């Protein structure tokens, strides 16, 4: 029995919905399924506007344009994240300023943000790692006092909350990912959540190549034209149909992942109590979505050996994110504010175990047996 690290989510209504799009010859962007997805997220998150996009990367680029990021501006973000969190702002000429993470959640350390602010700072970009919310009250308070935008990278945060609020709906903008490795997928795709209806109007234009085409389709203008910066951020309605099939059973998918997560946590607690591994921490004010299950080994050598041990038993485990400030492009254009106390050290210890919709209970048992066996040796 081989256990993959990830299996993309699939719900069997998807094929019928896609067929419907194809037969109706409605496969371009902003069709019926795109609208259904947008409305589903607006209702679920209580956000003024949701716009489906071609990726979380693109949704974040859209947010960077909406923040009016200019060359020379600075944005504050963790170094322990995916490249897109930085790239979206770098494309507009901004300098990424990296701040250390908290070792308990792997999220940006909210206590270290304020010291990194300069007159050039335009935005704070918290990343909700593993679907566990950042300390958003503190971050929103800092942003308010310094007049900064908050763009949440909520790529991993769909269906998770902080103090009852949906991740992605707390800042000015929030970006979701529907990549095949995420909890809900459309192959490639994402969405932007927008708090301010005025910004939503502009977002619609930027997403439609800088034209007021959306207004034209609604009959609000009698011809459409070039009115702003823009690009092409609309996904095909076929992809939206694939996603919508999962949104209809979003709780079922979430419950299934949470059950696997709880099972892992219970089975590995003895190793934690014995001081052999560390397990994820979820602050009381956060409800997570079981986006990933990770453990922390003693160090990078132990992690490499554990990966090999699991692989020898046909179990695929992975680590990720070489801290951006240590990567070639990050070194060239970014800077780390303060000291890297935890970013590098913690990232080298973290190992992600298989986690996907449909992972079986006996598979989790087997994985935990093999991890336990490794530490018994």
| Site residues (vs ligand PLP, CB under 6 A) | 55-57, 81-82, 84-85, 127, 153, 155-156, 177, 179, 190
**Shortest Cβ distance from residue 239 to ligand PLP (Å)?**
12
Burial class of residue 71 (count of CB atoms within 10 Å of its CB; 0-12, 13-18, 19+): exposed
Would you list the DSSP string of 237-249?
HHHHHHHHHHHTT
Residue with smaller CB distance to ligand PLP, 154 or 268: 154
Closest CA to 67 of 133, 152, 135: 152
- How near is the Cβ of 320 to ligand PLP at its closest, in Å? 9
Handedness of CA 54, 59, 62, 64 (dihedral sign): negative
Nearer to ligand PLP, 79 or 211 (CB): 79
CB of 56 to ligand PLP, least distance (A): 3
Distance CA 62, CA 207 (A): 7
Nearer to ligand PLP, 291 or 303 (CB): 291
CA distances from 300 to 284, 312, 351 (A): 30, 18, 10
CB of 78 to ligand PLP, least distance (A): 9
- For ligand PLP, the closer CB: 47 or 84: 84
List of residues 6+ apart from 300 with CB closer than 8 A: 348, 349
CA dihedral 377, 352, 292, 192 (to 10 degrees): 170
- The encoded tokens of residue 25 equal 């010859």
Of 161 and 211, the one with the shorter C-beta distance to ligand PLP is: 161
Q: How far is the CB of 228 from ligand PLP (least distance, A)?
A: 23
d(CA 183, CA 170) in angstroms, rounded, equals 20
Return the number of the residue (30 or 153) whose C-beta is nearest ligand PLP: 153
* Alpha carbons 313 and 331: distance in angstroms, whole number: 38
Q: Are strands 335-336 and 161-162 parallel, antiparallel or unpaired?
A: unpaired
DSSP state of 313: T
In the complex, least distance from residue 180 CB atom to ligand PLP, rounded to whole angstroms = 9
**Measured from the CB atom, is 4 or 220 closer to ligand PLP?**
4
Closest residue by Cα to residue 341 from 80, 77, 75, 137: 80
C-beta closer to ligand PLP: residue 179 or 207? 179
Whole-angstrom distance, CA of residue 214 vs CA of residue 117:
37
DSSP state of 284: T
How many Å apart are CA 75 and CA 159, to the nearest integer? Answer: 26
- Least CB distance to ligand PLP at residue 43 (A): 22
Of 53 and 271, nearer to ligand PLP (C-beta) is 53
């Amino acid at each position: 029995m081989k256990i993959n690290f990830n299996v993309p989510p699939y719900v069997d209504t998807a094929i019928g919905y896609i067929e419907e799009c194809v037969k109706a010859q409605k496969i371009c962007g902003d069709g019926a399924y795109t609208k259904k997805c947008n409305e589903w997220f607006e209702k679920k998150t209580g956000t003024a506007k949701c716009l489906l996009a071609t990726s979380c990367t693109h949704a974040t680029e859209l947010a960077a344009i909406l923040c009016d990021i200019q060359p020379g501006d600075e944005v504050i973000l963790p170094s322990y994240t995916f490249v897109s969190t930085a790239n979206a702002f770098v494309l507009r000429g901004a300098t990424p300023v990296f701040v250390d993470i908290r070792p308990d959640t792997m999220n940006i350390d909210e206590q270290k943000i304020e010291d990194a602010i300069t007159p050039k700072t335009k935005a704070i970009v918290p990343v909700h790692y593993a679907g566990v919310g950042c300390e958003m009250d503190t971050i929103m308070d800092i942003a308010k006092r310094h007049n900064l935008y908050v763009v949440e990278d909520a790529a991993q945060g769909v269906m998770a909350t902080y103090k009852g609020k949906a991740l992605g709906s707390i800042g000015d903008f929030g970006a979701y990912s529907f990549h095949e490795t995420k909890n809900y997928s459309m192959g490639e795709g994402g969405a932007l959540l927008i708090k301010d209806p005025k910004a939503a109007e502009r977002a619609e234009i930027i997403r439609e190549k800088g034209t007021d085409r959306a207004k034209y389709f609604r009959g609000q203008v009698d011809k459409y034209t070039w009115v702003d910066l823009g690009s092409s951020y609309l996904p095909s309605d076929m992809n939206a149909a694939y996603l919508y099939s999962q949104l209809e059973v979003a709780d079922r998918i979430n419950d299934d992942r949470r059950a696997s997560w709880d099972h892992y946590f219970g089975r590995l607690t003895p190793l934690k109590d014995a001081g052999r591994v560390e397990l994820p921490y979820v602050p009381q004010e956060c409800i997570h979505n079981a986006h990933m299950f990770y453990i922390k080994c003693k160090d990078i050598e132990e992690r490499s050996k554990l990966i090999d041990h699991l692989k020898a038993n046909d179990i695929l485990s992975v680590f990720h994110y070489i801290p951006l400030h240590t990567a070639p492009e990050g070194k060239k254009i970014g800077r780390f504010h303060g000291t890297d106390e935890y970013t590098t050290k913690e990232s080298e210890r973290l190992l992600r175990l298989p986690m996907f919709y449909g992972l079986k209970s006996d598979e989790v048992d087997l994985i935990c047996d093999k991890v336990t066996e490794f530490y018994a040796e």
